[in-house]
Amino acid sequence: MPDFPMGPFMLDLEGPELLAEEREWLSHPGVGGIILFARNYQSPQQIKALTAQIRKAAKKPLVIAVDQEGGRVQRFQEGFTRLPSAARFGELYAKDHKRGLAAAQLAGFLMAAELRRVDMDLSFAPVLDVDSGISEVIGDRSFAREPEAVAVLAGAFANGMRQAGMAAVGKHFPGHGGVAADSHHTLPEDDRSWRQLESRDLLPFRRLIQSGLEAVMCAHVVYPAVDSLPAGFSSRWLQDILRGQMAFEGAIFSDDLAMAGAACMGDIRDRAEAALAAGCDLLLACNCPGESVALLDAIRWRQPPGKQNRLAKLRAKKQGLPLENLCIIRSRLEKLLDQIN
């Protein structure tokens, strides 16, 4: 297959089967990826057939992704291991550091290996947000309330993903755990100082970047001490801090442009242009099929230096293990987690 450049848009599909109009736009040069949701899933066999149809219709390399963190955010459930929330690993880590890290790594491996069996490239994980006890949308999706614990547990989870051939995506940069509001419904503001953000929320991102983190997803959150724009639309956050100060060389995802937290930037076209200008490599545009497909011809985009190399690293490297091997890993994980019951 020719190695065509990957476009900047990651779109979604309406249901469990590929529609005729979706087959048409999948080959558009602006499409760089597809994100799947629970509405697209019926069984492992069905989702594997759907990914094959997507790749055939696209006629080019692209990234097929899903949110498969575990706990409250796991789109594929029946036929897949029901993964615990990240906070469960934090609870085990508080009792026994070694076992907590081992469980997190096994979970990352198991999640990625199961997704590879159905030809998925990517899960948007691990969550690097530090739980401050006030964010309902994050809550137990965070590994812990201490940034050091978040860093080591998320690092173990990411290492497990890599062992199964899957890149890791840290989210939500620079940290969504310090605000109560949910950016799906409104635009949160985090009024803490730069020193507070740097010493707490940025620490897990900094540690995983030093260990080779392949991608980040941005938060639709404003941090007035740093910039008046939400992080995913801010060149201050993405270019000066993430690329510059933190020396991040991986891919940058926007969060969903259709979320209410992005509305301050204008209509969806304005949001897409602002995210690209700030430095995002792949833009998620979900749950608004007419508007998102219209972006493909409405937005003029270019290939920044290094972008294709960054995106190529997101495509999965290995197929998943045989079921019998996964059963052994699942059993080992369950035994570790039983110690916190």
Catalytic machinery residues: 184, 255
Per-residue pLDDT of 309-339, as tens digits, reads: 999 899 988 877 787 889 999 999 999 998 7
Q: Retrieve residue 287's tokens.
A: 């749950």
Q: Where are the domains of the chain?
A: 10-340
Across 278-301, average pLDDT: 93
Across 2-20, average pLDDT: 88
Confidence of residue 83 (pLDDT cuts 50, 70, 90): very high
Instruction: Say which range, 203-212, 244-253, 281-290, 302-311, has the weakest mean pLDDT.
Output: 302-311
Residue 58: is its pLDDT beyond 60?
A: yes
pLDDT at 1: 36
Across 183-203, average pLDDT: 94
Confidence of residue 2 (pLDDT cuts 50, 70, 90): very low
Across 252-258, average pLDDT: 96
Percent of the chain having pLDDT more than 70? 99
Residue 231: is its pLDDT beyond 80?
A: yes
Question: What superfamily in CATH does domain 10-340 come from?
Answer: Glycoside hydrolase, family 3, N-terminal domain (3.20.20.300)
Residue 178: is its pLDDT beyond 80?
A: yes
Instruction: Say which range, 38-47, 59-68, 301-310, has the weakest mean pLDDT.
Output: 301-310
Q: Are 94 and 88 in contact (CB under 8 A)?
A: no
pLDDT at 4: 62
Q: Dihedral, CA atoms, 47, 51, 56, 60, nearest 10 degrees?
A: 170
Per-residue pLDDT of 118-160, as tens digits, reads: 999 999 999 999 999 998 889 999 999 999 999 999 999 999 9
pLDDT at 259: 93
SS (H, E, C) the chain: CCCCCCCCEEEECCCCCCCHHHHHHHCCCCEEEEEECHHHCCCHHHHHHHHHHHHHHHCCCCEEEECEEECCEECCCCCCCCCCCHHHHHHHHHHCHHHHHHHHHHHHHHHHHHHHHCCCCEECCCECCCCCCCCCCCHHHCCCCCHHHHHHHHHHHHHHHHHCCCCCEEEEECCCCCCCCCCCCCCCECCCCHHHHHHCCHHHHHHHHHCCCCEEEECCCECCCCCCCEHHHCHHHHHHHHHHHCCCCCEEECCCCCCHHHHHHCCHHHHHHHHHHHCCCEEEECCCHHHHHHHHHHCCCCCCCCHHHHHHCCCCCCCCCCHHHHHHHHHHHHHHHHHHC
